[in-house]
Amino acid sequence: MLDALEGIAGFVFNLDLLSTYGWRLLQGLRITAEVVLISCSLGFLLSYPLARGRMSRNPLISAPALAYVTFFRGTPLLCQLYLVYYGAGEIRPFLASVDLWWFFRDAFYCCIFAFTLNTAAYQAEIVRGAVQSVPKGQLEAARALGLSPYAIARHVLWPQALLIALRPLGNELIGIIKASALAAIVTLLDLMGETRFVFARTFDFSIYLYSALIYLSITQAISRLWNWIEALLSRHLLAGRPATMVLGAATRKGQGAALDPLRAEP
Amino acid sequence: MNVAKVLSLIGLATCLASMSAEAKEWKTVRFGMDATYPPFENVDPKGQIVGFEVDYANALCAKMHVTCTFQNQDWDGIIPALLSGKFDVIFSSMNMTPARAKKVLFSDMYYATAPVWVAQDSNKSNDTSFAALKDKAIGTQSSTVFANYLDKNYKGIEIKLYPGGDEPLLDLANGRLDYAVSDILVTQGFIAKNPGCCRIVAEIPRTADIFGPGVGAAFRPEDTDLAALFNKAIAEADADGTFKTLEAKYFKIDIRGKK
Amino acid sequence: MGWFSLLFGPDGWAPLLLRGTVITILLSVVTVPFGFGAGLVLALLKLSPSRPVRVACDAYTTFFRGIPDLLSLFIVYFGLQSLLNVLARLLGDAWRIEMNAFVAGVIALSVVVAAYSSEVWVASLKAVPPGQAEAARSLGLHPKQVFLLVILPQLGRVALPGMGNIWTILVKDTSLISTLAVSDLLRAASEASRATTRPLLFYGAAAGIYLIFSIVSGVGQAYLERRANQGYA
């Protein structure tokens, strides 16, 4: 009985494993970081024209944009990754003829290509949703003030849209970090890939838990960082809130409610 | 609410139907295989696992008077799956290395073939030294004796590891790899199906520490009775020519290696 | 060989793809009651007055939402195997429990779906006006009746968009199960494409089928939302 309990404790934590293979995990982490940062940035750049395309009134532009977004949001990322990685192998003669084979030959670039296309679709929808959430009154007022379309976009629309989009985009970044684990399935030795490598060598389950802890720390850190950025960038919104909310914080419980003219007292 | 109830009942029924307690006497033996290794085992269009080892396993089961079932299992997790009871025997061209023998019980050897270096047809060089391969793309299946061989002798070169047994050859054929390491029979089968893609460059000598004496079936260490049953059946299949017939059907050579 | 005969010919792979599609649908559908049900239980526990319970549930949710789904599936899958192994050793050889890959897949997916859906359930539980529960209690209804007859139906309406989102994630996560040798649609496509070296055809077909699921799910969700919001402005 004690033996079995020891067995359970043993398979959950194994510190020797970390000392022998920890450096491998860190190497994988570096690859993961590269893949995530590159895909996320390229995807962000791509999402702007895509979002504009989605919002366009011209069906020749909005239809392909809709098709793109529907495809990349409607199919699993793993399937898209396989399509890019193995599909490129199948059309290799064509790719070689346009001198692109060197790109698709490498698992690293294939992953970045697939992840970028995928995240661009999600980010485009987030940005589109944010732009459409900016109160119409803002745009009307800006037009009434005689601002040029460029000035409206630059000073009124996009700053507010990006602020609304900030939280979902943060979630998307965390989503990409988690999705990057799929790169391991196409032989890329990112954090997940190194984890599988070590497990195959040692059959020690605890390597998965260490890997999970690393991913968890990263996503938690990003989450908190994002909260801080959001609070920083929306400082100005705090000033515009009804006085009651500020007062409510300052007064003791109950008194704040009494000072609130908007809340009906039961 | 009704829909939820029905769904839950379906789910519960599915779970219960697939759980069973296994008794000690061997009436059914469950085989685990990584069916990405033609002609030894692969999946056919009907979704069945077929191949030399499937036929051989069926022959052995007939001699042992048991029913065989076959499960597909990814190679990386095949030993943990065996040890946790997902199936009873690994019958998947597993080389009997000393390292593996520490974790599982092996049967008698039933074949031993050479590992080989494979390159594209256009690559006419036969040089497989470290210096020649230094900046080439090399790949093989992960968790295999081939991977261990490469890791030991070609340290410093980035080796691409694939989850499936046929994937290194596939990527060699489409140009992602410059060299692949695989089994000689698997490679010959691949070249036969894809003529002109690749050629065997060199054979790798089977050293005991990395490759072991040959391929055997793997059991949980406590299943000594099952191992004994298998060894008896293997001997019987040799004696009455069943093995030789199967060997001739799939391969034209002696796959036991030089005795 | 033409794509048509590769799919539908005598040695065609279409039946395998079809079986994979059925497994994918079954995996998703069977996971729904377990995953969303466990998520609801988790959500109720998160609103419990006991602090250790809340902390434990939050830890569970944070863990499984913070790591890749692929890693979650591996941990549950291999963890379950090891756990069963230890149990077998504890209870003796005669009690070795066999668990097939499908069930392991359902359990793994349910663990992940429970974590995601518990957040949606908590938000929905908080969104139902507290006055509803108060009124129901003051009418003399038993707490269980209050929950089942008054809260739950209203929960459904608020939770629907979030749940629809998680359903989409679930269907796509079933493709990750393909890495654990469960013969779902993506696995069938992999096997076919490796045997025939025609990945574009088979992965393209798989993508098309997933796309159909996605569009049908979207239409279904829109319909359900319209129906649920019937009495509301």
Q: How far apart are CA B82 and CA C107, in angstroms?
A: 20
Answer yes or no: are the C-beta atoms of A180 and A36 closer than 8 Å: yes
User: Would the pLDDT of B134 be above 90?
Assistant: no
B: neighbours with 3+ CB pairs under 8 Å? Answer: A, C
Span of A18-32, B6-20, C20-34 with lowest mean pLDDT = B6-20
Q: Which of A86, A108, A186, A187 is the mutation pick for testing B, counting most B CBs within 10 A? A: A187
Token representation of residue B168: 């290194």
CATH topology of domain B115-205: D-Maltodextrin-Binding Protein; domain 2 (3.40.190)
**Residue B11 confidence (pLDDT):** 62
Contact A83 C203 (CB under 8 A): yes
> Is B164 touching C (CB cutoff 8 A)?
yes
**Residue C112 confidence (pLDDT):** 92
Q: Which of B36, B174, B178, B210 is the mutation pick for testing A, counting most A CBs within 10 A? A: B174
Mean pLDDT taken over chain B: 85
The pLDDT confidence band at residue B240, using thresholds 50, 70 and 90, is confident
Residues 6+ apart with CB under 8 A from B199: B118, B119, B120, B121, B123, B191
Residue B200 pairs in a beta bridge with: B118
User: Would the pLDDT of C90 be above 80?
Assistant: no
Contact A90 C199 (CB under 8 A): yes
- C-alpha distances out from residue A206 to A211, B114, B144, B193, B220, Å: 9, 35, 22, 42, 21
Mean pLDDT taken over chain A: 84
**Residue C170 confidence (pLDDT):** 93
DSSP C132-178: HHHHHHHTT--HHHIIIIIIHHHHHHHHHHHHHHHHHHHHHHTTGGG
pLDDT tens digit sequence for B46-84: 888 999 999 999 999 998 889 999 988 888 888 888 887
Residue B67 pairs in a beta bridge with: B28
pLDDT tens digit sequence for B77-106: 888 888 877 888 999 999 998 888 888 999
Residues 6+ apart with CB under 8 A from B191: B197, B198, B199, B200
Contacts of B36 in chain C (CB under 8 A): 194
> Is A89 touching C (CB cutoff 8 A)?
yes
- C-alpha distances out from residue A6 to A10, B21, B93, C27, C79, Å: 6, 25, 34, 35, 16
**Residue B10 confidence (pLDDT):** 67
The SS3 of residue B27 is coil
> Is C221 touching A (CB cutoff 8 A)?
no
What class does CATH assign to B26-112+212-250? alpha beta
Q: Residues A81-108: what's their mean pLDDT?
A: 90
What class does CATH assign to A33-192+224-233? mainly alpha
**Residue A256 confidence (pLDDT):** 38
What phi, psi does C106 have (nearest 5°)?
Answer: -60, -45
Which comes out higher in pLDDT, residue B241 or A257? B241
Q: Residues C151-170: what's their mean pLDDT?
A: 86
**Residue A6 confidence (pLDDT):** 59
Closest to A181 (Cα-Cα) out of A29, A2, A79: A29
Contact B143 A187 (CB under 8 A): no
> Is C132 touching A (CB cutoff 8 A)?
no
B241 to chain C, closest Cα gap in Å: 31
Span of B229-233, C43-47, C77-81, C197-201 with lowest mean pLDDT = C77-81
Percent with pLDDT over 70 in chain B? 90
A208 to chain C, closest Cα gap in Å: 7
> Is C184 touching A (CB cutoff 8 A)?
no
Q: Which of B122, B176, B177 is the mutation pick for testing A, counting most A CBs within 10 A? A: B176
Closest to B108 (Cα-Cα) out of B254, B242, B234, B239: B234
Q: How far apart are CA A138 and CA A158, in angstroms?
A: 11
The CA-CA-CA angle for residues A123, A124, A127, to 5°, reads 85
**Residue A123 confidence (pLDDT):** 94
Instruction: Give chain C's largest Cα–Cα span.
Output: 73
Among chain A residues, the shortest Cα distance to C69 is held by A178
Q: Residues C51-56: what's their mean pLDDT?
A: 92
Give this prediction's pTM: 0.84
pLDDT tens digit sequence for A14-60: 677 778 888 888 999 999 999 999 999 999 999 999 999 999 899 99
Contacts of C171 in chain A (CB under 8 A): 76
- Domain boundary assignment for chain A: 33-192+224-233, 242-266
**Residue A122 confidence (pLDDT):** 93
C222 to chain A, closest Cα gap in Å: 16
> Is A200 touching B (CB cutoff 8 A)?
yes
CB pairs under 8 A between A and B: 30
C: neighbours with 3+ CB pairs under 8 Å? Answer: A, B
Q: How far apart are CA B207 and CA B153, in angstroms?
A: 12
Q: Residues C95-106: what's their mean pLDDT?
A: 75
What is C3-228's CATH superfamily? MetI-like (1.10.3720.10)
Percent with pLDDT over 70 in chain C? 96
Contacts of C88 in chain B (CB under 8 A): 85
B178 to chain C, closest Cα gap in Å: 18
Token representation of residue A156: 């009124």
Nearest to B19 among C88, C94, C99 (CB): C99
ipTM of the complex: 0.86
Residue A253: DSSP 8-state? T
Span of A215-229, C67-81, C82-96 with lowest mean pLDDT = C82-96
* Cβ contacts of B126-130, under 8 Å, gap ≥ 24: B126/B201, B126/B202, B128/B179, B128/B201, B128/B202, B130/B154, B130/B156, B130/B157
The pLDDT confidence band at residue B250, using thresholds 50, 70 and 90, is confident
C216 to chain B, closest Cα gap in Å: 19
**Residue A95 confidence (pLDDT):** 87
- Domain boundary assignment for chain C: 3-228
The pLDDT confidence band at residue C98, using thresholds 50, 70 and 90, is low
Among all chains, which residue has been given the structure tokens 């745009």? Answer: A139
- Domain boundary assignment for chain B: 26-112+212-250, 115-205
Within a 10 A sphere around the Cβ of C6, how many other Cβ atoms?
19
Token representation of residue A70: 């529907």
C-alpha of B127 from chain center: 28
Contacts of A177 in chain C (CB under 8 A): 68
**Residue A242 confidence (pLDDT):** 52
Q: Which of B18, B37, B79, B142 is the mutation pick for testing C, counting most C CBs within 10 A? A: B18
Closest to A214 (Cα-Cα) out of A39, A27, A38: A27
Q: How far apart are CA A79 and CA C207, in angstroms?
A: 6
The pLDDT confidence band at residue A1, using thresholds 50, 70 and 90, is low
Token representation of residue A77: 């990322």
